[in-house]
Amino acid sequence: MKHVKIETVSIKDHPELNEAWVRQVIADDPTILGLGDLVLRDKERAQPRAGRLDLLLQDRESGKRYEVEVQLGATDESHIIRTIEYWDVERKRYPQYEHCAVIVAENITGRFLNILSLLNGMIPLIAIQMTAIVAADGVGLTFTKVMDEVTLGLVGEDEDVSVVTDRAYWEKHAPKQMLALADRVLGLVNEIDSDFGFNYTKFYLGMSKGGVVNNFVTCEPKKAHVRLNLRIPKDEQLTAELEESGLDLMEYKWGMYRLRLKEGDLVKHTDLIKKLLRMAHESS
């Protein structure tokens, strides 16, 4: 096989290429970024008092959204700030989706890569370096991910290092009414699959059957509610049903639907909550 020397060019300094051309290339085929099966939701999306977002992409299966900022040349402070600002605006406007900020630049310098790394973990952030390659009949773009978003551990993944407690610990630290509410959730779980019991840890009540931990559902008794975490893949129809139900729905995070259950919710919404528990069990 003959080796062919590759010629790269700077898009920023090119007389014909520009940022609009790059945006269109990505918009025509968002999968080119290497972030999965993405589709274009919007291009040059107007932001309230914050300019325009270059590209809004969405994963076909999970619904996760990517706020993409394109920069020619080397990364700089203004584009990094803009990337984070657009991500923040979108996640507040559409909290039912997961969001990730993406900066695409020709040169992500070591200095700014360090800054981005410091922010990553607090902000889901991906940095992609693009290269323009001259071909016989045009110019092609390649994209290399130089920094990926930090993947947060799921509840129960650090079970071996978490502090194991017992019922007495929770009777001491949680209100009696909220612990009783968690017990009623466990009762509904056992209607779906018997012999489950609580796996008591310092931070939550997980699920265990036959000595095997299976935290498809966890309960966190608080002062005035029980936070119910259900490991269910995000579904737009289910999200809409929960929003319309009147239950106190929290932001979808870590692959889980999260509810603040109060006394009376299990009576009023028994069928819906049991449906959620069954879905979580089937997904485990």
pLDDT value of position 184: 95
Which pTM was predicted?
Answer: 0.55
Q: Where are the domains of the chain?
A: 7-147, 167-283
pLDDT value of position 50: 66
pLDDT value of position 121: 65
Task: Report, as an integer, the average pLDDT of 54-59.
Answer: 93
- Lowest-confidence region among 4-13, 125-134, 203-212, 251-260: 4-13
How does pLDDT run across 72-92, given as a tens digit for each residue?
A: 988 888 888 888 899 999 988
Asked whether residue 155 carries a pLDDT value surpassing 70, the answer given is no
Of 3-12, 114-123, 239-248, highest mean pLDDT: 239-248
Asked whether residue 153 carries a pLDDT value surpassing 70, the answer given is no
> Could you tell me the fold of the domain covering 7-147?
Trna Endonuclease; Chain: A, domain 1 (3.40.1350)
pLDDT value of position 161: 44
**Residues forming a β-bridge with 9:** 132
> Could you tell me the fold of the domain covering 167-283?
Aspartate Aminotransferase, domain 1 (3.90.1150)
pLDDT value of position 120: 67
How does pLDDT run across 13-53, given as a tens digit for each residue?
A: 888 889 999 999 999 999 999 998 999 999 999 887 768 99
Summary mean pLDDT of the chain: 86
